[in-house]
Chains A and B, each alone.
Chain A
Amino acid sequence: MKQRVTVTVNARVRELLVDTRMVLADMLREELRLTGTHIGCGTGSCGACTVVLNGVTAKSCCVLAVDTDGDAVETIESLSTGPDDIHLVQEAFIEKHGLQCGFCTPGMILSARQLLADNPDPSDAEIRHAIVGNLCRCTGYVNVVTAVRAAAEAMSETPLDAVG
């Protein structure tokens, strides 16, 4: 069964005909070819599929595509336009070696960005609490936490309008 949806994805209005069984993660990946959103478990446990849905992070494997009609979705691809355009949080992950295989990384970045938007100066414990929904099998989270802290520091030194 297919149904029509209108979804704003990365600031672009998209009209799509989607299978009612399809989850948002599959719609982004298969229909829109936005493959930066990964699927690591399909049951909302790992967070690799994290996107920003109507302004807050959500696990796109647990949202039906058809149920996003009229909604706004931002994916990892919205954070930078090309090789030279990179978000402060992404910059900090490079600097602090906050990624290895990279599979969890897009979701991790979006969770970190939401945390820093809500709480610009988080403690390490708050950082850890904020990324509990993003499993990583490579880093032991050690450098992820360091990177988020570094991003917070970088942001505090950067004018707000430049952060985006």
Chain B
Amino acid sequence: MGPQAKPSLIGARVQRTEDPRFLRGDTRYVGDLQLPGMASVAFLRSSTAHGRILSIEGIPEALALAGVHRVMTGDELAERCAPIVVPWETFLEYHACEQPPIAIDTVRFVGEILAAVVADDRYVAEDALELLYADIDPLPAVTDPLAAMEPGAPQLHANIPRNTNYRGHFANPAIERVIEGATHAVSMRVRMNRHTALPMEGLAVLAFYDPGTENLTLWSSTQMPHMVRSKLAEWLDYPENRIRVIAPDVGGGFGQKANVQPEELILAALSLDLRRPLKWVEDRQESLVSSYQAKEEVVDCTLAFDGSGKITGLKARFIGDGGAYSAYPWSPSAEPLMASATVQGPYVVPVADTEGVCVHTSKATCSVYRGVGQPAGTYAMEHTLDMAAHAMGIDPAELRRRNMIGADAFPYTTFLGGVYDSGQPIATMELALETIGYGAFRAEQAAQREAGRFIGIGQGSMMELTTFGYNEMKNIGWGQRVSAYETAQVTVDPSGGVTLRAGTQNHGQGHETTYAQLAASVLGCELDRVTVETGDTSASPYGWGTWGSRSAVAGGGAILHACEHVRDKAKRVAAHLLEASVQDIDYEAGVAFVRGTPDRALTLADIAQAAIVRGDVPDEEDPTLDEIHTYKPPSPYAQATHVAIVEVDIETGEVELLRYVVAEDCGQMINPTIVEGQIHGGVAQGIGGVLYEHLRYDDDGQFLTGSLMDYLVPTANEVPPIEIKHLVTRSPVSKGGIKGMGEGGAVAPLAAIANAVADALVPVCGWQPIDTLPITPEYVLRHIEANATDASDPNKEIS
């Protein structure tokens, strides 16, 4: 035994090392940055949903205002910048639209940029906006995805018939026969609401073209700086190696910032033109009306069962309302595609036929938001399962038990040919049910019912596709744009300090801590000897950023590998210095020593000094401790069961969450405290999505929820305490056994809460599907009114 072994930091509840600067306000978000000579940008945005742009009036008057430097229209920008387009050849039925970052000729949603103004400060820029006027000849708008697919519907893009930009059908012709021959078959349709990630920091861009070096530096509140750099280079036709993109502290993203933004392109182009730094900080009204929105879908789901309650078939169709354009790199089809690909969940489904369709409408563009399609897929499966349970008279938990994939069946191949690497869905569900006291709940429910209170319980079980691995991205076709490997560079300095550089991009997930935990575990150093650098294309190796629950597996895997390479190198150098064979060198707790003679030992700092400063290494080695590793990650699946208990006030329709339990299994955790924090936040966003948040438009495409007074976000009063239990099934396919988990918290709440509401209302109106989200109080009352029968008249039962 060598130096005292330290417990591994992997799996430890380490406090976050980055917290103090956030708590003191010593952070640097883009909005906090100032450069000498910096000017401000503001945008004229459309108040018409769909129309021909005849002219932008008032430009001379705006330019005449003191302090105004430039007014740029779409035509002018087009000379500098190509339109945003998302090519994607994998699916035959896919049509790419073009989006000029500033609209040309046609405007397609309220909030679309019509012109950009550059002025000394935002006040002057806004004054100039007041002088501008867009003369727009209105065209008919279409706001409903089903209507948009009809013949004769207003056509938003000339090259996209029936506004249908994507159709992906994972067809199985056997499905109709299975449904016909089923002992039980149940179907439902649900309209999922359009909502939005709403990071507390909106978008922000600071672009700086330095005429001396001809370098363009762009600070952006983004989740993927390298991808932004590549597209700036391509669309602005500017050398990529002269562009640097920096994401400093980023105040949340949740997917909304995992897209190239039109504003990034516009500011970069303007800065190249005006040769000065330019800043734009999105305000909340802009954020709500124009930033990428998400998750609006019309979902149809049918489940077929045999006489023993086993699923025999699944048929599902997800029609996504993609809004006006396509966001790079995902296109709005990501939402229905992911729903159609993940609807199977943790269940054995012998025959499945699923379809995803994406339709353009005259609303803001939809892209990815935490979970992307998985909340809709999980809702379809879980809510239909509850519907079937009630139809068949089987307890919903028991029905799941009969259909869940057994722990011994992993690895399990899904209907699509994907592989669930590992998991124990039944044990996870049982843990959640036991934690919430499922067994005792029905008696409690009956007692409360006697007292005139309507409480209900509901669950949502899920498999969470994480990481979006290298091969999976190729299979989906996204790999053409995003190959999704990840690279880490680990550098030991002469003092033994460790610097990690990665292409992922922290925006609240605590990478500075968790990545340091990985390095400190492998290299045996103290946590505070590790520095993490991400989010700067000049500092980090090319990488794909942070989204899709990928950073722990992809970035973490790359770091683990690179650190192991450094450790192996340190051992080789130590063997050389200690004049021992490398086979006889052990490395523990940051010390390399000769096995059996622990006093013949060198610390990492000793080795670094020898190698880097003195060049005292074997002849065949470089005198560095600097390793880079590129990891092509797999797609491990995490899984969870969420259980909610709600109370419904049947007079007002209000839904109150009484308890919320999550049992989850994300494999080897790096830091359980951070895992739990991610779940808490995801659940809160799920609660928002199912009960409160709704981006609304009228039939003419006018936007109705332009401020946080109208777009309702859960406060501390609406989110209950969230109880979390962990199971750990290490992934057999990922480095370190790690599975992703950042999105899972937001995936199951919709299903769990809707199931609980439907359960609570059984005595009032029987079990009826919750077919429109969010579950507003008014919806609940209408739902009761539409379904109440004499037999289930609540007043009758009360008396």
Chain A positions near chain B (C-beta within 8 angstroms): 19, 21, 29, 33-43, 45-46, 48, 75-77, 79-80, 83, 86, 90, 93-95, 97, 99-106, 109, 124, 127-129, 131-145
Closest A residue to B200 by CB, please name it: A103
B201 touches A105 (CB 8 A): no
A48 CA to B252 CA in the complex, in Å? Answer: 13
B716 with A128: CB separation less than 8 A: yes
Known pairs A100-B509, A100-B510, A101-B251; A135 contacts B31 (CB<8 A): no
Q: Can you pick out 8 interface pairs between chain A and chain B where the beta carbons lie within 8 Å of each other? A: A86-B20, A100-B677, A101-B250, A103-B200, A124-B721, A129-B716, A131-B716, A138-B252
Given contacts A41-B708, A131-B716, contact A139 B680 (CB under 8 A): yes
Per-residue interface assignment for chain B, residues 19 to 52, with 1 indicating a CB less than 8 Å from any chain A CB and 0 otherwise: 1101111111101101000000000000000000
Q: Which residues of A contact B197 (CB under 8 A)?
A: 137
The residues of A that contact B199 with a CB separation of less than 8 Å are 101, 103, 137
Which residues between 678 and 692 of chain B lie within 8 Å of chain A, taking CB atoms?
680-685
* Complex: A130 Cα to B239 Cα, angstroms: 52
Bound Cα distance A106, B32 (Å): 14
* Chain B residue with the shortest CB-CB distance to A103: B251
Is the CB–CB distance between B24 and A77 below 8 Å? yes
Complex interface: chain B residues within 8 A of A128 (CB): 715-717
Q: A35-B29, A142-B721 are in contact. List 13 more A-B contacts (CB 8 A).
A: A33-B34, A36-B27, A43-B709, A45-B284, A45-B707, A90-B23, A101-B250, A101-B251, A102-B27, A132-B717, A133-B715, A140-B722, A141-B684
- Let me know if B32 and A48 touch, CB within 8 A: no
Assess whether B527 is interfacial by the CB under 8 Å rule: no
| Chain B 440-467 interface mask (CB, 8 Å, partner A; 1/0) | 0000000000000000000000000000
Asked if B32 and A104 sit within 8 Å, CB to CB, the answer is no
CA distance A93 to B509 in the complex (A): 15
Q: Does B713 contact A (CB under 8 A)?
A: yes
Judge whether A102 and B683 touch: CB under 8 Å.
no
Identity of the chain A residue whose Cβ is nearest the Cβ of B22 in the assembled complex: A102
Name A21's contact: one of B34, B123, B674, B708 (CB within 8 Å).
B123
* B123 / chain A contacts, CB cutoff of 8 Å: 19, 21
Which range contains the number of B residues in contact with the other chain? 35 or more
Q: How far is the CB of A138 from chain B (nearest CB, A)?
A: 5
Q: A40-B200, A135-B713 known; A103 and B23 CB under 8 Å?
A: no
Complex formed: what's the CA distance from A41 to B202 in Å?
A: 9
The answer to whether B716 touches A38, judged by C-beta atoms less than 8 angstroms apart, is no
Residue of B24, B250, B251, B682 ringed by the most chain A CB atoms within 10 A: B24
CA distance A119 to B28 in the complex (A): 33
Q: Do A142 and B19 have beta carbons less than 8 Å apart? A: no
Instruction: Determine the main DSSP class of A at the interface with B.
Output: loop
B157, CB-defined interface residue at 8 Å? no
In the complex, what residue of chain A is closest to B724 when comparing beta carbons?
A142
Judge whether B228 is part of the interface by a CB distance below 8 angstroms.
no
Contacts of B685 in A (CB 8 A): 137, 140
A131 to B401, CA, bound (A): 41
Tell me the nearest residue of chain B to A83, going by C-beta: B20
- B686 nearest CB neighbor, chain A only: A140
Q: Is B210 an interface residue (CB 8 A)?
A: no
**Assembled-state Cα–Cα distance A140/B25 (Å):** 21
Provide the residues of chain A in CB contact with B321, threshold 8 Å. Answer: none
A97: contacting residue among B16, B202, B250, CB under 8 A: B16
Q: Are B716 and A137 within 8 A (Cβ)? A: no
Q: Are B716 and A144 in contact (CB under 8 A)?
A: yes
A35 touching B200, Cβ below 8 Å: no
Contact B680 A142 (CB under 8 A): yes
Other-chain contact of B29, A38, A43, A76 (Cβ < 8 Å): A38
Determine whether the beta carbon of B201 is less than 8 Å from that of A142.
no
Q: Is B254 an interface residue (CB 8 A)?
A: yes
User: Pick the contact of A45 from B24, B507, B708 — CB < 8 Å?
Assistant: B708
Q: Does B508 contact A (CB under 8 A)?
A: yes
Q: Are A141 and B707 in contact (CB under 8 A)?
A: no
> Given the known A-B contacts A86-B20, A97-B677, A100-B677, are A140 and B200 also in contact in the complex, defined by CB atoms under 8 Å?
no
A138 touches B681 (CB 8 A): yes
Q: Which residues of B contact A80 (CB under 8 A)?
A: 23-24
Is B673's beta carbon under 8 Å from chain A? yes
**Residue of chain B at shortest CB distance from A85:** B24
Contact A101 B200 (CB under 8 A): yes
Query: Which residue of B34, B198, B251, B284 has the most chain A CB atoms within 10 A of its CB atom?
Result: B251
A138→B19 CA distance, assembly (Å): 14
Q: How far is the CA of A38 from the CA of B24 in the complex (A)?
A: 12
Q: In the complex the two chains form, what is the Cα distance from A131 to B708 in whole Å?
A: 16
Q: Residue B719 at the A interface, CB < 8 A? A: yes
Q: Which residues of B contact A129 (CB under 8 A)?
A: 716-717
**How far does the alpha carbon of A79 sit from the alpha carbon of B21 in the complex, in Å?**
12
Which residues on A sit within 8 Å (CB–CB) of B31?
Answer: 29, 35, 38-39
**B533 CB to closest chain A CB, in angstroms?**
18
Tell me, yes or no, whether B480 is within 8 Å of chain A by CB: no
Partner of A106, one of B25, B201, B285: B25
With CB as the reference atom, state the residue of chain A lying closest to B285: A42
Q: How far is the CA of A102 from the CA of B509 in the complex (A)?
A: 10
Q: Which of A34, A79, A94 has the most CB of B within 10 A?
A: A94
Inter-chain CA distance A128–B380, complex, in Å, is 33
Interchain CB contact under 8 A, B23 and A101: no
Please tell me if the beta carbons of B23 and A105 are within 8 angstroms of each other in the complex.
Answer: yes
Q: A137 near B200 (CB under 8 angstroms)?
A: yes
Task: Report which of B16, B27, B29, B716 forms a contact with A141, defined as CB distance below 8 A.
Answer: B716
**B90: Cβ under 8 A from any A Cβ:** no
Which B648-676 residues have a C-beta within 8 angstroms of A? 673-674, 676
Q: Say yes or no: is B647 at the interface (Cβ < 8 Å to chain A).
A: no
Chain B residue contacts of A103, Cβ below 8 A: 29, 199-201, 251-252
Residues of B close to A99: CB separation below 8 A: 19, 22-23
Query: A106 to chain B: which residues have CB within 8 Å?
Result: 23, 25
B719 contacts across to A, CB distance below 8 A: 140-142
Residues in A with CB closer than 8 Å to B674 are 97
B355 within 8 A of A: no
Q: Separation in Å of the A42 CB from the closest CB of chain B? A: 6
Distance in Å from the Cβ of B547 to the closest Cβ of chain A? Answer: 15
Cα-based distance from A35 to B30 in the complex (angstroms): 11
Residues of chain B contacted by A139 (CB below 8 angstroms): 677, 680-681, 684
Contacts of B707 in A (CB 8 A): 41, 43, 45
Q: Is B283 an interface residue (CB 8 A)?
A: yes
Name the A residues within 8 Å of B681 (CB-CB).
100, 137-140
Indicate which residue in B25, B198, B283, B673 contacts A75 across the interface (CB closer than 8 Å): B25
Whether B677 and A138, one on each chain, are in contact in the complex, defined by CB atoms closer than 8 angstroms, is yes
Contact present for B24 and A76 (CB under 8 Å): yes
Bound-complex Cα distance A56 to B216 (A):
44
A34 to B25, CA, bound (A): 8
Q: A35-B32, A40-B201, A135-B715 are in contact. Are A95 and B15 (CB under 8 A)?
A: yes
The answer on a CB contact under 8 Å between A93 and B29 is no
Write out the residue numbers on chain B whose beta carbons fall within 8 Å of the beta carbon of A36. 24-27
Q: Which residue of A lies closest to B713 (CB)?
A: A135
- Digit string of B474-509 for contact with A (CB within 8 Å is 1, else 0)? 000000000000000000000000000000000111
Other-chain residue from A21, A76, A104 in contact with B200 (beta carbon distance below 8 A): A104
Q: Is B249 an interface residue (CB 8 A)?
A: yes
A102 to chain B, nearest CB (A): 3
The complex places the Cα of A76 from the Cα of B25 at a distance, in Å, of 6
Chain B residues whose CB sits within 8 angstroms of the CB of A41 once the complex forms: 284, 707-708
Pick the contact of B252 from A75, A95, A137 — CB < 8 Å?
A137
Q: Which residues on B sit within 8 Å (CB–CB) of A39?
A: 31
Contacting residues, chain A, for B25 (C-beta < 8 A): 34-37, 75-77, 106
Minimum distance in angstroms from A45 CB to a CB of chain B: 4
- Among residues of B, the one whose C-beta sits closest to the C-beta of A106 is B25
Determine if A90 and B717 form an interchain contact, defined as CB atoms under 8 angstroms apart.
no
Most buried by A among B25, B28, B34: B25
Residues of the A chain whose Cβ atoms lie less than 8 Å from the Cβ of B249: 101-102
Q: Distance (Å) between the CB of B559 and the closest chain A CB?
A: 20
Closest 5 CB pairs of A and B: A36-B25, A103-B251, A102-B22, A101-B508, A140-B684
Q: How near does chain A come to B361, taking the closest CB pair, in angstroms?
A: 26
